[in-house]
Every structure is written in C-alpha cells, then in structure tokens.
A and B are shown apart, each in its own frame.
Chain A
C-alpha cells in the first residue's frame, strides 16, 4: 500500500541482481548504508516510494584492510568504527578528522564514508579529505569491478558516477609513508552538528630537508562538487611550506572556488574562508610530518 519495500541482501551478487531487477522493471531502488541522509530525505524532500536495499549485511562493504601498499575501507563502515581504529588514526589523521566531523556521535554510529560519498552533497566532509589522500572508489559492476578517483566520482549536487545496477564497495587508499601526512579542516558556525560552510583536505610529503615533494589539496562546500585543486598543490611543491607558500596555496583554493550564497554563508565569505582553511590545514599536515621525525 505504501509502495515501500525493504531488502537486506547478503551478497554483492544478490545486491546487484536486486538493483538490476528494479532498474529493468522501472521501479526505484535506493541503496541504504547508515541511512543518515536517506531517512532524512525520505521524510522531507523526497517522499516517493521505493525499495530500500540495505547493504550492511554484505561482508565486502564492511571490510577494513590495512595492506602494505593500500588500505581498503568498506563503503558501509560507520565512521565511529573508523575513528576507533588506532591504525587508521595514525595513517590518515586528516581523513579521520573529517569522518569525526560528520554530524553527532549518534550520526557517526551509523553514517559511513561510502554513504557520504554517494550522497554527493557539495558539503560532504569526507570527500575533500578522500581527494587529498588520493582515494579511489571501488565499484562493483555486472561484469566485475571498476575504479574511479574520488574527484571523478561525484558528478554534481546529489549525483555520482554510479550507473544503474552498480554498487560502491569501498575506497582504496594509497598507504602513506612516514614523510606524508594529511589534515582536514572545515568551517562551521557551531563547533558540531553543522554543515561545512567550507572545507579543505590536504596531504603533503616532505623530503629529509623539509621541502615539499608532493601535495594534494581537496576543497568542499565551495562548488557544486568537491574539487581537487592542482594549482594549490603546485604552489606547495618545491617549497618548505613557509608562509608565502601557504598563502599562495590558500589563494589558489579561493580562486578555484565557485561558491553560492545560501543560508549557510555568502559566496564571498566561503571563498575567503576556504583559503584560510587551506593555509591552516597545510600547516597542520606539515607539523604532523615533522612531529613524526622528531
């Protein structure tokens, strides 16, 4: 009568079959991980009936694996679980900061990095942080799997690169060496329980002399999608991450931004603040590398 259905498949194959069946029948199906975005939308802006496909019973999307070269984070792992993992906190302090900023303790008990990514909000906190660490999306398709860099996964406000019948399994992150560290900062008027007005994730690699040899900068909430800002990275590489370099990277972020004015902030404000966040985040990441060495 309500037109809603709930499915809890137990394998990737079963999930893909279910999604495929719905697509072929022209029925709407929506993947459910933590549900912290889906349930809110269901009650407000988007009340149309659909099948909810709960993927939390799949082993693959709950898999966390720290390998020698790569780390795999299953798409449905709640951020609270990630934050409690000491190894992840050591390897990706910035990404974990971002995951720790998603909503409240209660939200973190459910919300997943994969869900944050698929929801494709311009303000999703983990997206710039994932971009900064060079994460790639691992996607199950009818014929196997495919991978996409995070910055190519989100294609617009609320839109992602998954095509009908595909499922995001998780994220593959290059494992950083001791000379690399990341950081994430976002700005919100409240300390918690808020949506980013601007966000910036960075990752920097320093050589023994303290010169930056590689950098990645992702910004969020200042454009329809989170962006990889190569100009900001270029401003950092080859410098000692001194004030001038930080200012240049910040300026690059501000000019890469194309924000809107809304209830959360003005375009002008967002443009300025994303530059401030970049400067501060690079400083934090740099200090993290140096602290490793000390």
Chain B
C-alpha cells in the first residue's frame, strides 16, 4: 500500500467550477440552444414490436406547408459493417438500422421516418400525414421463448457467435461466452453445502432526467456542426460519420452540458437524423425526444435470467460455482453478457468455476450501457446465493465473504492477477460500522452484499494553457456529468502547486480538444485526470526550463515547489523563486506562450470494490418494502473530491434500490411498453429514502499518480442483492425475482404461508 501523503488540494471538496451556472439556470443543456432560423425535427415511430415495412408514403407530409424535409431508411447510405468500439459496443450496420429502420421494425418505438418543419406542431402534423404499411409479425418478448428451438427469428441472418462449431441454423442467440477454471464437478464434490437458484432481473432504464436532444447545422458542402448532450462527443462524431459515410473531419460535435447519462448517452439516436434533415432543408434542425420516446426507443439495460450454483465447505471455503446468464440484447446484438460473466465471481477466490453467458435478441429496444453494464444483474444473483449460503452455514455473511475475498495477487476470474484492491478493507469497514453492529430495528431485516467493477482507462487528452497572468485554463474532452471539472482542477492545483480558484476547466469541442473517449467506464477522473496531471507536468518542465534560462543555470538545477520555480538545493540560493505568474508574464521573452499537453491511452484502472448494508422492513399485509437505513462503503483509491465521490456512491445506491424495488419495463402481449413515463416507471422519489450513509475506503491504485480508482459504476452493483437479502432476512422468505414490488412480495409471502 502506498504511503499516506499530505495533499493540499486533493481530498478537499470545494465548490465546482461550473456550479454557479448550474444553480442559476445559465448552464446550457442539450435542448437549451436555439440557432437563428432553426426548424424542428420529429421522429415517426413504429406502433408494432415486430413487423415488416411494406410501404412508406410521405407525399402528404411533404405537401404540408412548413414541412422542409422527410427522411426514411431509404435515404441512408448502405451501412458498412464493423465494430463501433467504445463502451456501447456492437455493429455499425446495426447501429444505423437502430437509428432508422430499413425493411423491418424490431421494437415498438423503432424509428421509421423523420420530418423537419417550421414548428413542433407542424412537425407533428407531418408525422400524422405519413402512412406506413406493415406486415405485422409475432413479437418475441422473453428470454426463454427467444432461446427456444424453433423460435420466431428476429434476424434470420444471425448465427450464434463463439460456438465451438459453426452453427448451421440461425438463432436469436447472437453470441455465447464461456469462462472457467479448475474442475467444477470435483469442486462441488468437495462441498458440504450447495445452494442454487434462478434469478430474474428486469429490463431497467438509466432514467436520466434530460431527454436526448441536439441541433445540427449542415452547410452546402456537406459539413455539419452538431450540438448535443452526450457522454462522448468524439465517439458521437465517429458513429455519425460511419452511419452517414462522412469524413470525420467534416463533422464538428460540441458537447452541451449533460443532464445525466449513466451509460445511456454513449450511443447516437437523433444526431444523424438531424444532420440529414439539415442537409435536406439547408437550415439548422433541432430535435429533442419526449420522455415517452426516451423510454420506448433508447437503450435501457438488459433484463436477465441468471442461474447460480455455489458450493462451500463447512468452514465457508468456496469449492466451486457455476453461472448461467442470459442477457436481453433487445433488437440488435450487444448485451453486456461479457462484463456480466467476468464480474459474477470477481470478488472471490474460486478454484473451480464455469460461466456460460448468452447475448439474446428479442423485440425490445436495443440495450445501451447502464452503469457497470452487466454486473448488477449477474452479481445480484451471486450475492443472493452467497447470502443463502451464509444462512445455511450459520455464518455471518461478511465473515463468509472475508473467508473467500480476493486480494492482491488473487487471479481474477477474467484473467489477470489483482494488484492492490480494497475488498477486504471494505468488508472490515462494514463489519465495524455502527450500522452493522447496532441492534436491528423491530421487524426489520439486515442485508449486505458486495459490488465490483473493473473500471477502465482508455484514451484521453488534455491541454494546459498558462494565461498571461498565471491563471490556468485546462482544455479536455470528457463531458462533465457529475463534477469532473472540479476533480481536474483539484489534480491540476495539486500538481502545479497553485490555488484551485485560479484554474478553469473547459470541455473542448471535437475541433478544439484532443481526442477523448466517452465519459464512461468510471474513467474520467482516472484517465482524463492522468492526462491533466501529465500536461501539468509538461508545463512544470517548461517553466523550469524558462526559469533556468532566466537565471542562466541548467534546467536540472531548478526545482518546482508551491507553484514556483526555485533553485535546487546547493544551487545559488540568492535566486528568488519565480512563481507561475512571473514566468507567464515573462513568457514572451523566454520562448513564447506556455502550453502543456498530454494524450494517453491509460492503463491500469484499479478495480473498484464496495460493500453495502441495508436495514429494511416489509409490511406483511401489503408487501411494501421500506428502506430504513442504507450504508455504502467503497474503495475509491484516493478520493480527489470526497463530496462528489460520496455523491456517486449515494446516487448509485439509490439507482440500485430503485431497480431492486420498483423499476421495470412492463410489456403487454404485443410488445408495447405499458409504463413509458416517470409516473409508472417508478424511480425513487425523495420521500422513499433515508439518508445514504457512506464510508470512503482508500486503498491507492498503484498505477495512478494520486492513487485514483474509478468510482462511478461500482455503486450500482451491490444495492440489488443488499435489498433482496434484507427482505429475505426480514421475512424469512427468499425472493429471487426483481423488482421486489409490493404485489410480488405479498404473493411470495402468501405462497410461503407467512
């Protein structure tokens, strides 16, 4: 473990640099920009979950006064194949077809046409005037039917990938994945206790409050500027270029402020439509989804069916485990089965295990990333099984985890050996926490579970501009969803040795910042932070050399301390320190403007573990679940801005609780989502919750200069099982299907005779 370091800026929680604009309404989000002469785009969506498009007649729409353009799938270039890359993943031609259906619609809400008109009401009238003939096909709406032999095929050209032998018949199973180690049969033979169960986790939405929105403005040369809310404007630019077969350099993307994403704004929906409509109308085209469109047509996360089997000796030592995991991909391949498979057993030392995972097509919207994609589902199942195992063994559930906990040197199920990790530290913090040791409130149950996410590095760039007065402007390319400007400024402040308040952080557009991958994968503070630190170090090196030339000494005779160049020990002590502001003022005479840069592909994102605790009470007559207290404990490596780290933990906890207790996509038999609005897609409201207690554990990540681990995604993983385990312990009945909504809980209690 790295030694404790006294930092000046890091570890404090100052007001974020973009804060004032966000509390006064000045900050501009996706739908807040208006351009002179803009018109409005709207999308016509399929009323069927599965149908062939026979004919689209747009003539009546085009004839309406004030309609400037209509597009359908026919207007798009033939999409090229190939991987999209980034966190969303998937295939380019699938992405193109998801944005606008070609010959088939694959889910209710699938886009079939788009219009641009002088006002929203005219655009709506134009949509009403488009007639589409469909041949309605039977929808495939659940995993078992989709995977069954002879199932209706979503895509008859889909052959299962990664099978040992090339399949001869198409299937709705787009891909399988297997992971394993040791000998599972032998492992189970050594077990004194084996638990097994089947778990169902519903499709759920990220639920960001800001609907997708953009404005595109295309010139007569075909060059376009797009202003949109996105987690990654560089990747949006690349995806749009691929779908429209444009040169990347002909597209400029400007990221607005973003009103939440959680993975859901890592893929494009409206942007290419707006570009095409702008090209047709030669006017700026503004498009924004309604809330209903967000639910019906953007990527939620996979509903999942998970089967877990775990064996242990009497002393709690795990001997073997298997997992069978089927993930709903929606209309196109690309469910997060890979990360689901790789995380399911990650917290534990397991000599023998086997995981089989499936990416399954069905007539629902194509899933998108949602905070630790795939992990909440698989780890929910495993962490419930561990709780059951603890009960069967008569062990404290934390002790059972401690007995088997992965630590530095443990080979992770997905391959590499863990470097320093904080799982045991989190478990010990949980065990000692007053919320774990205090008496249980009357009628309540106490649950706990472990969470894990790999975290990623990927590519980031940063530029550090030293202004003439020594203030600092940092330009980077990672949209700030939760306060990352503050983290960047803190790391720059620490590195440069100047006050936080003198640093301004800008999210540059695709033409003014170096390339950066999405804000996702819990990578921004880690990877973009590393780029900022390296760019600051570049500046320090330059400043030392400017000071050296001013002083007439060698650069290696100059040190940097507290924001100033000073002579190194033993060098002429009479030289007065040259502060950053002095060097900036003298820059014209010492070589010109000071500009530091770094771009990197960050490696070594430290894995993030968490432990959650909850006390929960269940109304035995209505099945209603009340969360009395909730505690989130997580290894942040080093918390750069502790208040925003806590915020990630609290927000993830509540998203996880929502998914555990009430959130789900509810479909009718025709594949129409029944609850496409905030009234019936029940995300937690303030009065549903207690305060969310937090403990930040800090086991520094050895590969980051300040020890940072990503913190954004891990928090959503453990709450699902934490809640379910608490409900089980409160009622004495184990319920494996989520959400634990009142009707389902009451039914389970009655079935168990409670």
Direct chain A–B contact by Cβ atoms under 8 Å:
yes
With a CB–CB cut-off of 8 A, which chain B residues contact A240?
Answer: none
Q: Cβ of B680: which chain A residues have Cβ within 8 Å of it?
A: 195, 263-264
Interface residue? B168 (CB, 8 A): no
How many angstroms from the CA of A266 to the CA of B747 in the assembled complex? 10
Contact B679 A189 (CB under 8 A): no
State A189–B687 Cα separation when bound (angstroms).
12
A262 touches B622 (CB 8 A): no
Q: A193-B685, A194-B682 are in contact. Are A263 and B674 (CB under 8 A)?
A: yes
- B741 contacts chain A at the CB level, 8 A cutoff: yes
Does A190 touch B at the CB level, under 8 Å? yes
Are A276 and B622 also in contact (CB < 8 A) when A262-B674, A269-B742 are?
Answer: yes
When distances are taken between beta carbons in the complex, the residues of chain A under 8 Å from B684 are 190
- Give bound CA distance, A228 to B688, whole Å: 31
Q: Which residue of A lies closest to B625 (CB)?
A: A189
Query: Is A242 an interface position by the 8 A CB rule?
Result: no
Q: Kindly state whether residue B121 has any CB partner on chain A within 8 Å.
A: yes
Residues of A within 8 A of B675 (CB): 263
User: Which residue on A lies nearest to B121, using beta carbons?
Assistant: A2
How many angstroms from the CA of A2 to the CA of B124 in the assembled complex? 11
Question: Bound state CA distance, A2 and B128, in angstroms?
Answer: 14
Q: A87 contacts which chain B residues (CB < 8 A)?
A: none
Residue of B nearest to A187 (CB): B622
List B contacts of A189 (CB < 8 A). Answer: 624, 661-662, 682, 741-742
Q: Among B124, B674, B685, B743, which residue has its beta carbon within 8 angstroms of that of A190?
A: B685
Residue of B at shortest CB range from A272? B746
Query: Could you say which residues of chain B place their CB within 8 Å of the CB of A144?
Result: none
B67 smallest CB distance to A (angstroms): 14
Bound form: Cα–Cα A273–B747 in Å: 12
Within 8 Å of chain A (Cβ to Cβ): is B429?
A: no
| Contact status A44-B292, CB under 8 Å | yes
- A256-272: CB near B (< 8 Å → 1, else 0) gives 00000011111001001
- Interface residue A147 (Cβ < 8 Å from any Cβ of B): no
Task: Using A273-B622, A276-B621 as known contacts, say yes or no to A191 and B688 having CB atoms under 8 A apart.
Answer: yes
Question: Which residue of the partner chain A has the closest CB to B681?
Answer: A263
At the interface, yes or no: A192 with Cβ under 8 Å from chain B? yes
Answer whether A195 and B679 are a contact pair too, CB < 8 Å, given A190-B662, A269-B742. Answer: yes
| Complexed CA–CA distance, A258 and B13 (Å) | 56
Contact with B along A188-216 (1 / 0, CB 8 A): 01111111010000000000000000000
* CB contact between B679 and one of A193, A269, A276 (< 8 Å): that residue: A193
Residues on B with beta carbons closer than 8 Å to the beta carbon of A273: 621-622, 742, 746
Instruction: Contacts A189-B741, A272-B746 given; indicate if A194 touches B679 (C-beta within 8 A).
Output: yes
B-facing residues in A1-19 (Cβ within 8 Å): 2
Give min CB distance, A63 to chain B, whole Å.
31
* A45–chain B nearest beta-carbon distance, Å: 11
A126 vs chain B, min Cβ distance (A):
18
> Bound state CA distance, A82 and B714, in angstroms?
46
Chain A: how many interface residues by the 8 Å CB criterion?
21
Most buried by A among B622, B674, B675, B682: B622
Tell me whether B248 is interfacial, beta carbon within 8 Å. no
A107 to chain B: closest CB distance in Å?
11
Of B679, B685, B743, B747, which contacts A191 at CB under 8 A?
A: B685
Q: Is the CB of B682 within 8 A of A190?
A: yes
Contacts of A264 in B (CB 8 A): 680
Q: Which residues of A contact B666 (CB under 8 A)?
A: 263
- Chain A residues near B746: list those with CB within 8 A: 269, 272-273
Complex Cα distance A264/B674, Å?
Answer: 10
Closest A residue to B661 using CB positions: A189
The answer to whether B743 touches A266 (Cβ under 8 A) is yes
Interface residues of B in 284-334 (CB under 8 A from A): 292
Chain A residues, CB < 8 A from B688:
190-192
**Complex alpha-carbon distance, A216 and B742, angstroms:** 28
Instruction: Assess the A187–B687 pair: CB atoms within 8 A.
Output: no
Residues 352-387 (chain B) with a chain A CB within 8 angstroms = none
Cβ-closest chain A residue relative to B620: A276
Q: Which residues of A contact B687 (CB under 8 A)?
A: 190-192
Give Cα A197 to B679, complex, Å. 13
* B contact residues around A263 at 8 Å (CB): 666, 674-675, 680
Task: Give the Cβ gap from A251 to chain B, nearest Cβ, in Å.
Answer: 14
Distance (Å) between the CB of A197 and the closest chain B CB?
8
A194 to B742, CA, bound (A): 14
Smallest CB separation, A39 vs chain B (Å) = 14
CB distance from B413 to the nearest CB of A (A): 36
- Bound complex: CA of A266 vs CA of B622, how far in Å? 12
Alpha-carbon separation in the docked complex, A44 to B295 (Å): 14
Q: In B119-175, which residues have CB < 8 Å from any A CB?
A: 121, 124
CB distance from A104 to the nearest CB of B (A): 8
Would you give the 0/1 interface string for B647-666, flagging 1 where the beta carbon is closer than 8 Å to chain A?
00000000000000110001
Chain A residue at minimal CB-CB distance from B290: A43
Contacts of B743 in A (CB 8 A): 265-266, 269
- Cα distance A262–B684 when bound, in Å? 20
Which chain B residue shows the least CB distance to A4? B121
Chain B residue numbers with a CB within 8 Å of A47 are 124
A189–B684 CA distance with the chains assembled, in angstroms: 10
Question: Bound state CA distance, A262 and B667, in angstroms?
Answer: 10
Measured in the bound complex, the distance between the Cα atoms of B685 and A44 in whole Å is: 24
Please measure, in the bound complex, the distance between the C-alpha atom of A1 and the C-alpha atom of B742, giving whole angstroms.
48
Q: Quick one: which of A47, A193, A194 has the most chain B CB within 10 A?
A: A193
Which A40-70 residues sit within 8 Å CB-CB of chain B?
Answer: 44, 47
On chain B, the residues within 8 Å of A262 by CB distance are 674
B residues within 8 A CB of A272?
Answer: 746
Bound together, the chains give a CA A263 to CA B624 distance in angstroms of 16
A121 to chain B, nearest CB (A): 12
Chain A residue nearest to B674 (CB atoms) is A263
Cβ–Cβ < 8 Å partners of A194 in chain B: 679, 682
From 511 to 540 in chain B, residues with beta carbon under 8 angstroms from any chain A beta carbon are: none
Binary contact readout B611-637 vs A (1 if CB under 8 angstroms, 0 otherwise): 000000000011110000000000000
Which A residues are CB-close (under 8 A) to B662?
Answer: 189-190
Which B residue sits closest to A44, measured CB to CB?
Answer: B292
A90-107 vs B, CB cutoff 8 Å, 1 = contact: the mask equals 000000000000000000
Contact with A along B98-133 (1 / 0, CB 8 A): 000000000000000000000001001000000000
A195 to B681, CA, bound (A): 12
Complex: A197 Cα to B746 Cα, angstroms:
14
A272 to B741, CA, bound (A): 15
- Per a CB cutoff under 8 Å, which of A2, A187, A193, A195 touches B742? A187
Interface positions, chain B 577-601, Cβ under 8 Å from A, are none
| Docked pose: A265 CA to B747 CA in angstroms | 12
Residues of A within 8 A of B678 (CB): 193
Fill in one digit per residue for B2-45: 1 if any A CB lies within 8 Å of its CB, else 0: 00000000000000000000000000000000000000000000
A266: nearest chain-B partner, CB-CB: B743
Q: Give chain A interface residues in 155-193, CB to chain B under 8 Å.
A: 187, 189-193
B52 to chain A, nearest CB (A): 28
User: Within the complex, what minimum Cβ distance (angstroms) separates B738 from chain A?
Assistant: 13
User: Residues of A contacting B292 with CB < 8 Å?
Assistant: 44
Q: Which parts of B679-697 form the interface with A (CB within 8 Å)? A: 679-680, 682, 684-685, 687-688
Task: Contacts A189-B741, A192-B687 known; list 10 others, CB within 8 Å.
Answer: A189-B624, A189-B661, A190-B662, A190-B685, A191-B687, A195-B679, A263-B666, A269-B743, A273-B742, A273-B746
A-B pairs, top 5 by smallest CB distance, nearest first, are: A269-B743, A263-B674, A191-B687, A276-B621, A263-B666
Q: Mind listing 25 A-B residue pairs with CB under 8 Å? A: A2-B121, A187-B624, A187-B742, A189-B624, A189-B662, A190-B682, A190-B685, A191-B685, A191-B687, A192-B687, A192-B688, A193-B678, A193-B679, A194-B679, A194-B682, A263-B674, A263-B680, A265-B743, A269-B623, A269-B742, A269-B743, A269-B747, A272-B746, A273-B622, A276-B622
Q: A-contacting residues of B (Cβ < 8 Å)?
A: 121, 124, 292, 621-624, 661-662, 666, 674-675, 678-680, 682, 684-685, 687-688, 741-743, 746-747
